[in-house]
Structure 1
Amino acid sequence: MTLARIACWNVAWHGQTSKRGKLANAHLESTEFDVAVISETNSGNDLGCHMISGGASWGYPISVASRRKIALLSRNPWKDTVCLEGARPLAGRYASGTTTTPAGEVRVVGVCIPWFACHVSTGARDRKNWEEYESFLKAVEPQLRAERDTALPLIVAGDFNMPIPHHSGQPPQAYHQLLELLGRVGLEVVTSAQAVPSGKPRLLNHISVHDLQTHSVTTWSNVLNDMELTDHAGALAELARP
């Protein structure tokens, strides 16, 4: 069985030259990923891979020009790429492309779904809690359906900003909207119910697939070498063609 190794993490904007950034990058490299879907990263932080991203604008003032809400890294080149720049809620938070992995060609979509307080007390300040999150889910469905039409195995991964399964601290409405969207598109969340070794107890960054089988899933903490690198745990899935 030939496996593709897909990593997913939020690295909290750490630059590749900072202490935390170096440690985060070293851990990502240690996973021996074929494709990595990274949220809150930097355009120069490509780990020697081919990078595509959602662009530099996602509705907030840009304090550091190199920051990217979502980026996709592959050991092999990308083709047929999509970057949804323009208006909220998708701008800067969506990128996709086709790349080659040990399991063959795959279509990969990276998303950074807005957190619950997006544009509530910061940014445009024109939303209530969860409104931007739910707006993103509605806006992204046609795009995900179009990605399914490529007839390639599909991976949709990134910062879902939601534990799966449901946690009591999250509103059921937003959770069910997310799961119903994924179900309508035909995606299986392979990181559902995965335990994290220590630190943050629940995954917010997830990997979902269509027309791929899961061989294994591993996770890691947001705390490495006694240093908190980010507020998100990470995950790696080994996937194969059916």
Structure 2
Amino acid sequence: MADDRTVLRLLTFNTLFKGDVRARLRALGAILDRERYDVVCLQEVMYRRNADLLRRLARSCPHHAYRGAVLLHGGLVLLSRWPVRQHRWVRFPALRPIRPELLMRKGAQVATLGVPGGGLAVVNTHLSANLDDDWSPENRYTRIERAELTRLAGALSTLDPALPVVVAGDFNLPRGSAPLHEFAAATGLRDVLAADTEPTYRPTPSWPAPPALDHVLVRSAAGRTVTARARLVLREAEPLADGRRAYLSDHFGIETELTLSGGYQAGGDKRPG
């Protein structure tokens, strides 16, 4: 009997928009090409010229999704080994308090990829930061994040139910937090690192024990089961072109091995891309 499994490797990584960005992105591009990921979800890329740089360097991912003539919508970039059949941008509501982060126009990319054995919906997202570091239900930023998750859940509801789904990115919500748990329960998603307590934000002297803020959530579909295992990557300083070594971000990456089992004819998004 033929093996109907498809195994894909996905990376999600907040690249950090400030500092020596181009040098770090060049190092990241080389890693992406060497590691030959199937899908790459990046946040805080910000400028189209930086996204174009990554596209040129990550030759193993010839397909892409991002929008914006100069500034990218949400700073989000999706790179893929497999064709991007359609993609659309979902912007989150701009809620008070007024803060510089609103200039980033945060939201989500909703894409359908033509992977072996069928289709796969991949959602790359970046939620608003909680500047109070207080994720209690009454906090002002928790209210914003709940509204963003509501918008994200609405976008997921438009996907063809025949598609397995991966939602990845910087949620700026701790693993196990009430808003994240409620979102996962409402959308049928499962956190692939649910039992992991390691931080995904790089600890600093001022924040020695940050929570896990980056997540990968998956959902199976009828006839197409998704199983996953994940690990943190990009934790160490990497060599730059000028001989220096530097951390590539203030976040760690999450590398996820996805196994899609079962076969079906790929569907798509109910809405046009």
Same fold (TM over 0.5): yes
Contiguous gaps of at least 5 residues in structure 2: 96-101, 133-138, 204-209, 239-244, 262-273
Quick check: 1:84–1:93 contact (8 Å CA) kept in 2? yes
One-letter code of the match for 2:178?
A: H
Alpha-carbon distance in structure 2 between the residues aligned to 1:7 and 1:19: 20
Contiguous gaps of at least 5 residues in structure 1: 58-63, 119-126, 166-174
Residue 40 of structure 1 corresponds to: 44
Residue 153 of structure 1 corresponds to: 164
- Do residues 72 (structure 1) and 78 (structure 2) align? yes
Q: Deviations over 1:25-64 (max 9, x none)?
A: 23333432101111111432323432213x449xxxxxx6
One-letter code of the match for 1:115?
A: A
Which of the two has higher C-alpha Rg? 2
Q: Deviations over 1:89-112 (max 9, x none)?
A: 695411111112345420111111
> Secondary structure in 1 aligned to 2:75?
strand
Cα deviation, residue 214, structure 1: 2.7
Cα deviation, residue 130, structure 1: 3.1
Q: Which deviates more from structure 2 when the two are superposed, residues 192-201 or residues 220-229?
A: 192-201
Residue 99 of structure 1 corresponds to: 113
Quick check: 2:232–2:255 contact (8 Å CA) kept in 1? yes
User: What percentage of residue pairs aligned between the two structures are identical?
Assistant: 25
Choose the corresponding residue for 1:206, options 215, 232, 247.
215
Quick check: 1:215–1:237 contact (8 Å CA) kept in 2? yes
Q: TM-score by structure 2 length?
A: 0.67
- Do residues 230 (structure 1) and 249 (structure 2) align? yes
Evaluate the alpha carbon distance shift between residue 230 and residue 23 of structure 1 in structure 2; reply closer, same or farther with a 3 A threshold.
same
One-letter code of the match for 1:164?
A: R
One-letter code of the match for 1:109?
A: V
| Equivalenced residues, count | 217
One-letter code of the match for 2:217?
A: S
> Secondary structure in 2 aligned to 1:79?
strand
Evaluate the alpha carbon distance shift between residue 145 and residue 14 of structure 1 in structure 2; reply closer, same or farther with a 3 A threshold.
same
Evaluate the alpha carbon distance shift between residue 214 and residue 203 of structure 1 in structure 2; reply closer, same or farther with a 3 A threshold.
farther
The root-mean-square deviation of aligned C-alpha atoms, in Å, is 3.3
- Do residues 24 (structure 1) and 24 (structure 2) align? no
Alpha-carbon distance in structure 2 between the residues aligned to 1:67 and 1:84: 9
Alpha-carbon distance in structure 2 between the residues aligned to 1:92 and 1:30: 30
Q: TM-score by structure 1 length?
A: 0.75
Quick check: 2:129–2:172 contact (8 Å CA) kept in 1? yes
